Chains A and B, each alone.
Chain A
Amino acid sequence: MEIPYTTEVRPDTGLTNPKLGIWLFLASEVMLFGSLFSSYALLRSGAPTWPVQHEVLSVPLAALNTVVLIASSVTMVMAWASLAPHTAAVRAGDGEAEARSLKRYRLFMGLTLLGGAIFLVVKSIEYSDKFSHHLYPATNNFLGLYFTLTGLHALHVIVGMIVNGFLWGPGARMWRSEPERFANRIEVAGIYWHFVDVVWIFLFPVLYLL
């Protein structure tokens, strides 16, 4: 059975199904992270004392990771922009446009994957530094929240990298057979990746700077 409305717009929503689907999924993600941010606000505002966060955590490493994640969002959107203008040419059988745009797409998607990998390496350096100083999730409420929030976020980075890795490798075969559908996939995977970036944009000041 063919999946409906993957490329053509559904008349009642005005959207393709994957576009509506990713936004509904992200709405649930907002509530997931929202509940944890609310827990942070409650536990911090109710605490008689709270650690000085920038003394416990490394602001330079987190700032580096912020720049890395923002840059990977830019390369992600560039990966989509490498494909989107050429869908009609590829469908018409223009082999040169197909190969050129795929090469450019793979470059930008590869850089996005590299950004995700650098982010995780820096995060693991931060984690191992905490552990070496005997700072664990059970040490206090702040560290419990820090590890829960950043751990859940890192899990989202890993999931995004698995999806992007598939789309960089075997998934890219769709570019030749169904170019519009593949470009839509990259846009939808990008919307998820940018959401992961947005979550970090809030985590950085809340956990490190304030």
Chain B
Amino acid sequence: MGHDVAAQVRSYMFVFGALLVLTLVTVGVSYLRLPETPAVIIGLSIALTKAALVAMYFMHLKGEKPAVYWPLGLTAFLFVGLLVSVLLSEGDHLFGTEFGDAFTKE
């Protein structure tokens, strides 16, 4: 156990460094004032990477049991479903489609 934890502590320091670098990168990219779509994709990708590092290493999700993965997987699925269903109501506005008109046109 002692040896395992020593190895884990090394990985914590590596993750700490990676999180600091990614924070710098995300702030740096925001000063480039990119158009909205690439800015959102880059910003959220960096946030997802940071969150995954924290979850896998600090929260010990790496190598965790299926009894944790299953409820979390279901939660992720429901969250994405919630986000997508809410955004679809703005689909015409966001993606330039005209589905909404089908209900208003004669």
A95 at the interface (CB under 8 A from B): no
A38 at the binding interface (Cβ < 8 Å): yes
Closest chain B residue to A83, Cβ basis: B5
Distance (Å) between the CB of A153 and the closest chain B CB? 14
Interchain CB contact under 8 A, B87 and A67: no
Q: Decide if A14 is an interface residue (CB 8 Å cutoff).
A: yes
Task: Kindly report which residue of chain A lies nearest to residue B1, judged by CB atoms.
Answer: A85
A31 to B78, CA, bound (A): 8
| Chain A residue at smallest Cβ distance from B79 | A34
Question: Binary interface profile of B, 23-43, with partner A (CB < 8 Å = 1, else 0)?
Answer: 100110010000010011001
Q: Cβ of B94: which chain A residues have Cβ within 8 Å of it?
A: 45
| Cross-chain contact B54 with A198 (CB below 8 angstroms) | yes
Partner of A201, one of B50, B60, B90: B50
Query: How many residues from B make CB contacts under 8 Å with A?
Result: 50
Contact residues in B for A209 (Cβ distance below 8 Å): 26-27, 30, 39, 43
Please state if A38 and B72 are interface contacts (CB–CB under 8 Å).
no
Check B16–A70 contact: CB distance below 8 A: yes
A53 → chain B closest CB, angstroms: 10
- The one of A13, A23, A202, A210 that contacts B51, using a Cβ cutoff of 8 Å: A202
As a 0/1 sequence over residues 72 to 98 of chain A, the CB contacts with chain B under 8 angstroms (1 = contact) are 011011100100110010000000000
Known interface pairs A24-B71, A37-B83, A46-B90; A63-B23 also in contact (CB < 8 Å): yes
Cβ A38 vs Cβ B82 within 8 A: yes
By a CB distance below 8 angstroms, the chain B residues around A34 are 79, 82-83
A14-B66 CB under 8 A given contacts A41-B87, A198-B55, A205-B47 = yes
The docked-state distance in angstroms from the alpha carbon of A74 to that of B83 is 31
**With contact pairs A70-B16, A205-B43 given, residues A42 and B89 touching in the complex (Cβ less than 8 Å):** yes
A19 at the interface (CB under 8 A from B): yes
Taking the nearest CB of chain B, how far is it from the CB of A131, in angstroms? 25
- A205 engages B26 (CB within 8 Å): yes
Given contacts A46-B93, A81-B9, whether A205 and B79 have CB atoms under 8 Å apart is: no
Residue A127 interfacial (CB < 8 Å): no
Residues of B within 8 A of A59 (CB): 27, 30
The distance from the CB of B60 to the nearest CB of chain A, in whole angstroms, is 7
Which positions 166-210 of chain A face chain B at CB distance < 8 Å?
187, 190-191, 194-195, 197-198, 201-202, 204-206, 208-210
9 pairs from A and B in contact (CB 8 Å cutoff): A13-B65, A23-B68, A38-B87, A42-B86, A77-B12, A77-B58, A195-B59, A202-B44, A209-B30
Residues of A at the B interface (CB closer than 8 Å) are 13-15, 19-20, 23-24, 27, 30-31, 34-35, 37-39, 41-42, 45-46, 54, 59, 63, 66-67, 70-71, 73-74, 76-78, 81, 84-85, 88, 187, 190-191, 194-195, 197-198, 201-202, 204-206, 208-210
Chain B residues near A (Cβ < 8 Å)? 1-2, 4-6, 8-9, 12-13, 16, 19-20, 23, 26-27, 30, 36, 39-40, 43-44, 46-47, 50-51, 54-55, 57-60, 65-68, 71-72, 74-76, 78-79, 82-83, 86-87, 89-90, 93-94
